[in-house]
Structure 1
């Protein structure tokens, strides 16, 4: 009787020199993606148990936005609705998926590093823990910031409702949660920029001097990313993402300059000893 084999999911063996063929790189990528997806799925199932509490937590920005709107436009009527037979189920699944993504973030962020690690030398792999310890709080911190600026972003967008005629805004809850998930994930990804920059410097891929030369382009890119990635499209959300990214990049650049000087002093001392 034929047996189900999952051998194709196993990652390839990494040679001692870390050099892998294109096929092995693709097998490694497949393994990391499948492992991350399975992990997130398990986290989603766990979050499904607590979906009511998660939903109440995620709807707090909506309630805060309503309070802000009452001060801006007291006569504006905004009602949250569910449209469609499957909408309640989709709502629960979306909330659980976001919870699973956050819950398992240490695991799938580690998979990102693990995919890069085979190309590094043994002494460079010690930075895996540093990457993980920095990446998880930065990602969660970015998501938290996206969560807290959401009420103001919603209020700004809804305040554009015209007063010429009587209008009642019907806001589908599913659309609201999609907007929230996009905003939180974009902020989380944006806040990973300094972690990636510093990690590349630690492993010797990028120098502080190179970052200084590319500074104006990176800062401009942060502004473009902030404008293009924020789903609401309002200036408030764009600046709330772009400005912290710029500041975090400048901090990362300063850390890289310090590390380069430290590395140069260490190398000169070794030469003197030799």
Structure 2
């Protein structure tokens, strides 16, 4: 596909993803109150545990309105994840045959649960992160947390781990599209493991190593699971091509030529 067509396809997919996100944001706007309570609950629980004053602070005149918009978009991104993940798949694999496009079902069937699992894992550790970080507040002092800062912290934490869990599925999608072979992914496995732990260290707000390892290990496991799927797919593809008298996708022939 020419570069111009790629850019048009990218613009189309971004537009469709944005439309879906806008629809999800409307639902987020409607559900803002219970969602905001859920976002604030870790702070309230920590305040009750420490018997201190910890609360979200709206420091500006329009801060409450701005936060409602951001929370709506945040929830919209979570709710519409099947839609924009499909747009990602459709952009990666625009030239596949009709039969190969059926892989989209498998892609979404794996990507959506993994995105939600990564988001849930981050959400599950959020109360611990809030408790550890607020424990540094001196005795007798109040902790007024800026609403914008707190929301950015939660959004980055949840969405980043959701996307990190989807990356192995993108690896498989690119492999199935014939763009990258499993051997190419395998050459960088050391970097993949290192980057997984660096990512967990940066994104995990707690200073303890146990939480960092607990967040990094699922990403590493998913990477190697995706690598295994890619190797199986390459082997099947090569066998089929050899049976048809064609060279393997890496350019070699069965006789070594």
Normalised by the length of structure 2, the TM-score is: 0.83
Among residues 78, 82, 92, which one is paired with 2:54 in the alignment?
A: 78
Which among 219, 232, 239 is matched to residue 245 of structure 1? 219
Does residue 113 (structure 1) correspond to residue 94 (structure 2)? The answer is no
Are 1:152 and 2:128 counterparts? yes
- CA shift at 1:161, angstroms? 3.0
- Is the 1:226–1:238 contact (alpha carbons within 8 Å) kept by the matching residues of 2? yes
Alignment equivalent of 1:226, drawn from 165, 176, 200: 200
Shift of residue 39, structure 1, vs aligned partner: 1.9
Task: Give the whole-Å Cα distance in 2 for the aligned partners of 1:66 and 1:168.
Answer: 10
Deviations 1:53-83 (A, max 9, x none): 222233333334445xx3xxx4654233222
Q: Match of 1:161, SS?
A: coil
Q: Deviations over 1:96-143 (max 9, x none)?
A: 111211121111111111112223344432222211221111111111
Structure 2 residue matching 1:46: 3-state secondary structure: helix
Q: What residue number does 1:198 align with?
A: 172
Any idea what SS the aligned residue of 1:171 has? strand
The 2-side partners of 1:205 and 1:88 are apart by 46
1:182 to 153, 156, 162: 156
Mean alpha-carbon deviation: is it higher for 151-160 or for 208-217?
208-217
Distance 1:25 1:97, change over 3 A: same
Shift of 1:235: 4.5
User: Which residue of structure 1 aligns with residue 7 of structure 2?
Assistant: 26
2: CA distance between counterparts of 1:249 and 1:268?
28
For 2:137, the equivalent position in structure 1 comes to 161
- Aligned equivalents of 1:244, 1:101: Cα separation in 2: 22
Q: For the residues of structure 1 that align with 2:204 and 2:65, how far apart are their CA atoms?
A: 24
SS of 1:246's equivalent in the other structure is: helix
For the pair 1:171 / 2:145, whether they are aligned, the reply is yes
Q: How many equivalent pairs are there? A: 244
Alignment match, 1:56 = 37
Corresponding position of 2:75: 99
Change (3 A) 1:62 1:171: same
Which of 38, 45, 61 is the aligned partner of 2:19? 38
Q: Can you give the 5+ residue segments of structure 2 that lack an aligned partner in the other structure?
A: 246-257
For the residue of structure 2 that corresponds to 1:156, the secondary structure is helix
CA RMSD of superposed structures (Å): 2.5
What is the SS of the residue equivalent to 1:44? helix
TM-score by length of 1: 0.78
- Pairs within 5 Å for 1:262-273: 262-267=236-241
1:25 Cα deviation from its structure 2 partner: 1.7
Question: In the superposition, relative to structure 1, how do residues 65 and 196 fare at CA in structure 2: closer, same or farther (>3 Å)?
Answer: farther
**Structure 1 residues 190, 117: CA separation in 2 closer, same or farther (over 3 Å shift)?**
same
Q: Which residue of 2 aligns with 1:16?
A: none
Structure 1's unaligned 5+ residue stretches are: 1-18
Moved more, 260-269 or 118-127: 260-269
